[in-house]
Amino acid sequence: MEALIKLENVWKIYQLGKIKLTILKNISLEIVPGAFVVILGPSGSGKSTFLNMVGCLDLPTKGKVFLDGKDISKMSEDELAQVRGKKIGFIFQQFNLLQNLNALENVMMPMIFQGKSEMERQERAKSLLTSFGLGERILHRPSELSGGEQQRIAIARSLANNPEIIVADEPTGNLDSTTGKKIMEILINLHQKEGKTIVVVTHDPIIANYSNQIINIKDGQLVSNHLIAEKVLW
């Protein structure tokens, strides 16, 4: 199967005055369509920078990143933004919801940039929020909702444009264990029933039980890349 995401000899180096800070060091790997990937590593290991490469949020200093066989380093920022909007949905630890918008408006927002009509945006957003048990909360703002509810809104927003890939950075990091488990069950459902490719960054090895590919990163280097034949279902 051809790789959906492919990294070839990727380095990420930041120039801080006279100091060079190397975050990623010569990483090469492939992620196939429909994979459920967990990226493990301690704080400061470079896993979030790695996720930014996978999600086309950043470009490598050296090396290449391919999405659907296309080298993203050759794309303009406008082209990258279009690719992200259509193919990739993002979920963040801090939820990153717009505080002055209600749940419905937050989920509708990504569809504006894809040229969807007001009616299409509303119908899609209502359908997603209802599917996550938030049908009665669509007019509530983030400050009026629990952490678990905010993360479900964030997941609904990530699905607004029906992307092929869901990228999640510590999606359970700000949640209690019970709520975190429910969030992971949502991601498993998206993987199993809708065939989404899921890429999750975490420092929690328990989350690896949900995956069929485990990538370990330490000090900016790829330590291991394991494919698992059968995933443990929780």
Q: Are 72 and 83 in contact (CB under 8 A)?
A: yes
Give how far Cα 181 sits from Cα of 12, 97, 121, 185, Å: 33, 21, 29, 6
- pLDDT band at residue 2 under the 50/70/90 scheme: confident
User: Does the structure show a pLDDT above 90 at 229?
Assistant: no
Bridge partners, residue 89, by sequence? 166
- Which two three-digit tokens encode residue 79? 């082209």
Chain centroid, CA 93 distance in Å: 10
> What is the mean pLDDT of the segment spanning 191-196?
92
**pTM of the entire predicted model:** 0.90
- Tokens found for residue 48: 């979030």
Q: Which helix (DSSP H) or strand (DSSP E) does residue 131 occupy?
A: helix 118-131
Number of other residues whose CB lies within 10 A of the CB of residue 106:
26
Mean pLDDT of the chain: 91
Q: What does each C-alpha distance from 216 to 9, 51, 143 come to in angstroms?
A: 16, 13, 35
Residues 6+ apart with CB under 8 A from 85: 110, 113, 114, 161
d(CA 35, CA 191): 8
Residue 14 to residue 23: CA distance in whole angstroms: 8
Q: Convert the pLDDT of each residue in 87-118 to its tens digit.
A: 999 998 889 999 999 999 999 999 998 888 99
Superfamily of domain 5-227: P-loop containing nucleotide triphosphate hydrolases (3.40.50.300)
In this model, does residue 234 exceed pLDDT 80?
no
**14 contacts: CB under 8 Å, gap ≥ 6:** 20, 21, 23
Tell me the chain's radius of gyration from C-alpha atoms. 18
Give percent above pLDDT 70 in the chain. Answer: 97
Give the DSSP letter of residue 4: S
